Chain A
Amino acid sequence: MIRFVANRVLGMLIVLFLVCLFTFVIFFALSPDPAVQICGKNCTPEAIDQIRANLGVDQPFWTQFGTFLSGLFAGRAYGTGPNAIDCAAPCLGYSFQSSQAVTDMIVQRLPVSATVAIGAAVLWLLAGVAGGLLSAVREGRFADRFIAGLTLTGMSIPNYVLALSLQFLLVVTLGWLPFPQAVPFSEDPLQWFQNFLMPWIVLAIGMAAVYTRLTRANVIETLQENYVRTARAKGLSPGLVWRRHALRPALTPIVTIFGMDFAGLLGGALITETVFGLNGIGKMAADSITKNDQPVIMGVTLLAAFLVVVGNMVVDLLYTAIDPRVRVGSSA
């Protein structure tokens, strides 16, 4: 068990290191000179050299990468002498656009993305599992076919179409929701809730469709298992057969997929956040890409990779708790 966890943690560290390396290669080594970008119109070669020295981009690749890594764990300083800017760990550098520390930018926006992700996740889990169960119980009947139609629709509509139509319908035409504007929860909980309601629904619909299909397939497959037949042969009531012998094995794999989907969403919902003007990680990523703000792009990429890898590990550990075949090794 301890060995299992240790292996997973080690694997996670290796993956994260490789992700850092590849991201670094792509964004720093292969992109145009950031110093030119920063320096602006009235630029002298001396000024460019100065900026390069401050950023450290005049150093060889491995030195830069080393500084970047140590900046992540121990912080680093840009420039030398009294003008040096100290960047505390975990240092992801400074935005070329706003000169803000990327770490601070992420910390500011992460709560917004997390709110979007958590609300959407609750919705899609409830709707997806409920829809899938109903479909499985009514396999081949009207309800099953109706839900199949809904899931197909849900999966086919692109997020931005859904987002814009929903906004048009609920805000402009029906006036059920106020026009979204950023309000903290502590100030006006109702307005806060109304702001997030549409992003939650938009994100949840596509995912709920996938989870519905997954749940339906898992449940139907589990009901074919021999141990379900054994349970029925014991004379258990259909309710017990379902709850104990069909649901638990059928829903366990959902945990795996949910962990990864959720972690991915924490790293920002690019389209949804942009459409609804939510100042989360996704919108920050979109903005930084259009402005070629490399440190920010890199910070967001690393954050997303980190979340997915950590999410994966959490799922692995959760599995040891819910699946006895993983938890206790064979002794026979």
Chain B
Amino acid sequence: MTDTLLHVRGLTVGFPNAHGPNEVVKSLDFDLERGGALGIVGESGSGKSMTSLAIMGLLPKGAKRTGSIEFDGAELTDLPERAMRSYRGDRIAMIFQDPLSSLNPYYTVGTQIAEAYRSHRSGVTRRQARTIAIEAMERVRIGDAAKRVDHYPHQFSGGMRQRVMIAMTLSMEPELIIADEPTTALDVTVQAQILDLLAEIRSDTGAGLILITHDLAVVSEVTDHLVVMRDGDLVEQGPAERIFTDPQAPYTRMLLDAVPRIDDEIGLLRTLPTTEEAR
């Protein structure tokens, strides 16, 4: 029997209004093994980000979450906010899409990296926090960390900012890292570096990884299990290799076909039909 870290069953997220339940994630099932890497793939609006926020318990106001999210044997949906807070940042960490707007411009990166550590562990001195921030920055290979720790987010490049975001999650040694489109705002060359870094951290720390992206090239590099979503529905899931070589659902096939290949004949890019056309 494999050791399951995250066990999601029937997860549904809706924004109920006068016209109905307005569900953006519909009865989603998936599992993540301890130390495993799961990719959640889909177009914009497929519900993949809402899935990650539902796990974190950070859904926007007005959202309704039902179903079961079991993390390391504990049912997260039953937890009161205060108890959920002890999971956030400590055992489950999250990396967001746009590193510039996700960092507070008023505080040094060192302060922001050590912040989670200081709030989850009591009696941490300023100096200890600083050391922890520097170590985390060194682990994500930000050069001259002892000096850069006192710099502000606007003094870093896009890729370096995302490294800061990753360093932020590291200090607590989380068991699960959720990365929501971590490379979307970055240059292609920088994307590869960030993905390598995530893969490396995963193998070093044994943390589970959920990588949320619309970019199939991204998941193919780092994940071993894939969940394909569309309009809040689970389209298909299975081992990444099988899905790439032998997609079962027509939608997955279309998604794979839409990736341009270098050996393609020159012509129009294949695009996906919109939801309305497909129906």
A residues bordering B, Cβ < 8 Å?
225-227, 229-237, 240, 244-245, 248-249, 252, 323-325, 328, 330-332
Contact = CB atoms under 8 A, between A and B. Distances in A.
Contacts of A248: 106
A232 B58 contact: yes
Nearest to B111: A244
Give the 7 A-B residue pairs with the shortest CB-CB distance, closest first.
A235-B89, A235-B88, A234-B89, A234-B116, A226-B101, A227-B104, A324-B152
A227 B152 contact: no
Interface of B: 56, 58, 85-90, 93-94, 96, 98, 101-108, 115-116, 119-120, 151-152, 154-157, 160, 165, 168
Contacts of A229: 58, 96, 102
Of A225, A234, A249, A331, most B-chain CB atoms within 10 Å = A234
A236 B116 contact: yes
A332 to B, nearest CB: 4
B152 A230 contact: no
Contact of A237 (B90, B101, B119, B156): B119
Nearest to B155: A331
Contacts of A328: 151-152, 155
Contacts of A244: 104, 107, 115
Given A226-B102, A332-B156, 16 more contacts: A229-B96, A229-B102, A230-B96, A230-B102, A232-B88, A233-B88, A234-B89, A234-B119, A236-B89, A236-B119, A244-B104, A249-B104, A249-B106, A324-B152, A328-B155, A332-B157
A34 B90 CA distance: 79
A237 B160 CA distance: 27
User: Which of B115, B157, B168 has the most CB atoms of chain A within a 10 A radius of its CB?
Assistant: B115
Contact of A331 (B90, B119, B151): B151
24 contacts: A226-B96, A229-B58, A231-B115, A232-B88, A233-B89, A233-B93, A234-B88, A234-B116, A234-B119, A234-B168, A235-B120, A244-B104, A248-B106, A249-B104, A249-B105, A323-B105, A323-B106, A324-B105, A324-B152, A325-B154, A330-B155, A331-B151, A332-B154, A332-B160
A53 B152 CA distance: 63
A138 to B, nearest CB: 14
Nearest to B91: A235
A230 B58 contact: no
A233 B58 CA distance: 7
A158 to B, nearest CB: 39
A50 B155 CA distance: 67
A227 B104 CA distance: 5
A114 B120 CA distance: 48
A103 to B, nearest CB: 43
Contacts of B165: 230
Given A225-B101, A227-B102, A235-B85, A330 B154 contact: yes
Nearest to B86: A235
Nearest to A327: B152
Contacts of B154: 324-325, 330, 332
A190 B104 CA distance: 47
A233 B56 contact: yes
B87 A235 contact: yes
Contact of A231 (B86, B101, B104, B160): B104
Given A229-B58, A231-B115, A233-B94, A332 B101 contact: no
A332 B116 contact: no
Nearest to A232: B58
A17 B119 CA distance: 54
Nearest to B52: A233
A332 B152 CA distance: 11
B20 to A, nearest CB: 23
Contact of B119 (A225, A227, A230, A240): A240
Contacts of B93: 233-234
B156 to A, nearest CB: 5
B98 A226 contact: yes
B152 A325 contact: yes
A331 B153 CA distance: 10
Contacts of B104: 227, 230-231, 244-245, 249
